[in-house]
Each structure stands twice: as C-alpha cells, then as structure tokens.
Amino acid sequence: MLMPDLMELLENMQPDQKINYDRLLEKMILTWQEEGVRPKILLHSCCAPCSTYTLEYLTKYADVTLYFANSNIHPRLEFERRKEVQADFVAAFNERTGQQVEFIAEAYQPQEFLCVVKGLEEEPEGGLRCSACFQMRLTKQH
C-alpha cells in the first residue's frame, strides 16, 4: 500500500528532475494520514547528533527503529563511543517523549568495509566510495 504510492510519486517526476526528499516525505506522510496508517521505518544513523531532529519529526507519524551500522568508522574506540552515545540518546528520547524507538547496533566489522571500498581509496567525499559503503549497509542480511 505505501510503496506503490512512493513509486507513483517518483514515476510522475521528469527524468532529469532532482528529488526534493522533504517534499516527497510530506506527500508520503499525507498518504499515511489519509489511510490511517502508522508505518514502521528503519532509519540508519551514523551518530546521535545526526538523528535528533529526524527522530523528533518522524516519530510523530511512524514507529522508528534506529539502525547503527557503521563499520566505516575508525578507530574502534570512536565507533564504540558513537554507538554508546546513540543508545543513550535513544533511551533518553524515549523517556522524555513516551516513544518506543528501538535501537539496533551492528557488530564492528571494519575488514568488511575495507574489502568493499578496496580500490576506491582516492574517491572524493560523496563519491563511489560512499556509494559502496551505503550499498554495503543497505544490503546487510538479518
């Protein structure tokens, strides 16, 4: 029910048109409200500061599970620090808002990341290396 609406919205765009994701989300939320549904969203987060506003906004309309999968972060100590701060933030957010945001943290596997981006070391920020990293996280099997 929800995915066809998203696909329909995307199909109505011009081939060279840039996607305004905020506007697209607004249309999706309107559809959810019209249909009386509260979807479940799996949201990736790299750190607590990046998830604050997104959680405040999305939890008004959907049940959110925060997904921390960041084997690209180095060193391990920084990964563990971010994971702990993110988990603490989710707990505090739930207590403060009465929400029930779930938190899933993947194991730290930097070798997997290094294998995926091998040969892309010189890529600029936002280039093919980032795309490979995104793809790695989006295709993880659970």
For the chain, domain boundaries: 1-37, 38-138
Q: Mean pLDDT of all residues in the chain?
A: 91
Query: pTM score, two decimals?
Result: 0.84
Q: What is the pLDDT of residues 93-129, one digit of tens each?
A: 999 999 999 999 999 999 999 999 999 999 999 999 9
Q: How confident is the model at residue 22 (pLDDT cuts 50, 70, 90)?
A: very high
On whether the CB atoms of residues 132 and 117 are closer than 8 A, the answer is yes
Q: What is the pLDDT of residues 53-81, one digit of tens each?
A: 999 999 999 999 999 999 999 999 999 99
Structure tokens, 94: 């739930």
SS3 5: helix
For 44-83, the DSSP string reads: E-SSHHHHHHHHHHHTTTSEEEEEE--TTSSSHHHHHHHH
Cβ partners under 8 Å of residue 24, min gap 6: 6, 9, 10
